[in-house]
Amino acid sequence: MLSQIVRPLVNTQVRLLANSQTTQTTLVETIARWLGYLGVDAEVTRLSSESDRIHVALRVGKPDSCDAQDWDSILNNLRSPDHDENNGLNSCNEIHESHQLQIARLLAYLIQISDPQQDISWSEIESQLLPLNLDDSMLSGIKSAMKVPQSPDLLKTIDPDIAAVTFPLAVKIAWFDQEINSHENHALSTLLSAMK
């Protein structure tokens, strides 16, 4: 699975950075190389440590797999005067209400398939969800959706915009237990496909 491939690579890179005499240069090269594996032309323009985190600013070129028309649309959308600087950064905080229920059900489904044989404690799940900065209405929606088994049919007709908002949250939820099982892998792959 994804975790079996990626996690050892990440551990190796972390050890390399911890033992490097040129940590900043090594990290800049590592970030550019890893994004390059995904076909993304990226240049690190700023790198600094802030408290217990690392702040990275990137300049990103058109990915190899992105066609020119899609890339032009992305750039034009970002240049639009209607573009909100925080658009997409606050996850579910600014999602239209009509989509919140669908996203809440998708996230509840991800939680349920993480270990289908185990009873799920809402208090435990809620503490894991807190770092995702979901608003109260989204948390309430997930809690409500958790009361009944969610169907994999939810994945059959997903709007690309909903998939795009849900995918990063779904990855974090699937990674709660530090591994991704076959059900989670299928759900994540479906969300990824829906965005294309």
The verdict on 17 and 61 lying in the same domain is: yes
pLDDT at position 91, please? 46
The verdict on 102 and 163 lying in the same domain is: yes
pLDDT at position 88, please? 43
The verdict on 139 and 58 lying in the same domain is: no
Residue 54's domain comprises: 2-65
Do residues 95 and 165 make contact, with C-beta atoms less than 8 angstroms apart?
yes
| Residue-wise burial string across 82-103, b where 16 or more C-beta atoms lie within 10 A, e elsewhere | eeeeeeeeebbeebeeeebebb
The verdict on 104 and 191 lying in the same domain is: yes
The verdict on 54 and 105 lying in the same domain is: no
pLDDT at position 2, please? 54
Report if residue 84 sits inside a domain. Answer: no
The verdict on 42 and 108 lying in the same domain is: no
Report if residue 144 sits inside a domain. Answer: yes
Cα 82 from Cα 4, distance rounded (Å): 42
Number of domains making up the chain: 2
pLDDT along the chain (196 residues), means of 10: 62 77 83 78 87 88 84 86 50 61 92 82 88 87 91 86 86 85 89 81
Q: Tell me which residue of 183, 194, 107 sits closest to 158, measured CA to CA.
A: 194
pLDDT at position 7, please? 67
Report if residue 80 sits inside a domain. Answer: no
Do residues 146 and 124 make contact, with C-beta atoms less than 8 angstroms apart?
no
